[in-house]
């Protein structure tokens, strides 16, 4: 039985938890996620990540119980194609990139925004760059720089339109893009990555989650751009019925209806049912990464509603 000192990330109160030997045996190169319920240490609930030696590696405030839809991993479960340790040392990644930082970078990627990761040690640079290149392979385009704090200070003017992160801190929040309280899906994705004990599968899990978000959001773009054709609407009818459409929009929750239509389309195309929170996350990707506002793009006329 291992005993670990825990410090609440919200109020800093210290307590202890016992981790059974059986649970520790399941941890190889991954991290064990331990749910700390309210009133265990304090009034807060959170998740703590512990390595096989009972050392605390990271914390997450437990506000991200979001249901992520399941899709088969791109390329299957073949771990033979994962990068070698000299290209990406996943142990170094997990030990030196806090969970929140990975969540921040994912948000930047999904928003098509350039980002900087500030590090203490230069030997981490290529590993971090290769890590984010690998998980976005065949999906999102990225622009991520990695540098020391000294380099960043010297070149800060050059990177004025970049997000910048160091540890759990947002050094520069360009256009106030990131609200840590709203990264529930990103946190859930990172949680899946961190808690997968098998190093090969942890790569696949994270890459698959990123690719899934890309694939589903791209399908939403396809639906919005081809809405009339998919729903057998004569484009001329939309123009003729402008007054009717405006009247209809006034009395109907258009946003709710469009969410339902998109959800039904994704079920039809991908055979996948999506929770509202995750669907909102996808629509934000469509708006920020693909630069398309589905609510402006889709014009609903009464006789085409479902």
Residue-wise pLDDT for 127-158, tens only, equals 999 999 999 999 999 999 999 999 999 988 89
Q: What is the pLDDT of residue 57?
A: 83
Sign of CA dihedral 121, 127, 129, 132: negative
Task: Kindly give the parts of the chain with pLDDT less than 70.
Answer: 1-2, 25-30, 62-65, 74-80, 235-252, 300-306
Q: What is the pLDDT of residue 35?
A: 79
**Nearest 10 degrees: Cα torsion 220, 145, 149, 95:** 70
User: Crossing angle of helices 99-110/199-225, nearest 10°?
Assistant: 30
Q: What is the pLDDT of residue 282?
A: 97
CA 138 to the chain's CA centroid: 16
Residue 201 φ/ψ region, left for φ over 0, alpha for ψ in the -120 to 50 degree band, beta for the rest: alpha
pLDDT per residue as tens digits for the range 39-92: 889 988 888 888 878 888 888 775 656 789 988 776 666 666 778 889 998 878
Residues 6+ apart with CB under 8 A from 278: 66, 67, 68, 69, 185
Q: Enter the pTM of the model.
A: 0.83
DSSP β-ladder status, 115-119 and 46-50: unpaired
Q: What is the pLDDT of residue 85?
A: 86
Sign of CA dihedral 137, 219, 114, 181: negative
């Amino acid at each position: 039985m291992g005993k670990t000192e825990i410090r609440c990330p919200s109020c800093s109160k210290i307590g202890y938890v016992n981790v059974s030997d059986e649970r520790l045996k399941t941890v190889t190169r991954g991290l064990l996620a331990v749910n700390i319920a309210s009133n265990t240490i304090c009034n807060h609930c959170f998740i703590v990540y512990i390595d096989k030696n009972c050392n605390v590696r990271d914390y997450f405030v437990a506000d991200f119980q979001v249901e992520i839809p399941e899709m088969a991993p791109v390329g299957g479960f073949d771990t033979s194609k994962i990068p070698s340790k000299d290209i990406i040392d996943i142990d170094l990644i997990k030990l030196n990139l806090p969970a929140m930082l990975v969540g921040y970078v994912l948000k930047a990627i999904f928003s098509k925004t350039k980002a900087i990761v500030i590090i203490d040690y230069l030997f981490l640079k290529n590993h971090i760059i290769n890590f984010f290149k690998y998980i976005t392979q065949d999906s999102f385009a990225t622009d991520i720089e990695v540098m020391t704090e000294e380099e960043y200070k010297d070149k800060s003017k050059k990177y004025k339109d970049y997000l910048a992160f160091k540890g759990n801190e947002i050094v520069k929040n360009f256009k106030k893009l990131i609200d840590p309280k709203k990264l529930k899906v990103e946190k859930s994705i990172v949680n899946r990555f961190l808690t997968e004990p098998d190093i090969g599968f942890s790569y696949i899990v994270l890459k698959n989650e990123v690719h899934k978000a890309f694939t589903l959001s791209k399908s939403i773009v396809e639906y919005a751009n081809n809405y009339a054709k998919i729903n057998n609407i004569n484009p001329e009818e939309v123009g003729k019925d402008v007054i009717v459409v405006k009247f209809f929009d006034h009395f109907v929750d258009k946003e709710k209806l469009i969410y339902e239509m998109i959800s039904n389309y994704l079920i039809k195309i991908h055979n996948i049912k999506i929770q509202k929170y995750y669907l909102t996350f996808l629509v934000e990707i469509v708006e920020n990464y693909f630069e398309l506002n589905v609510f402006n793009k889709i014009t609903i006329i009464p006789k085409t509603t479902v």
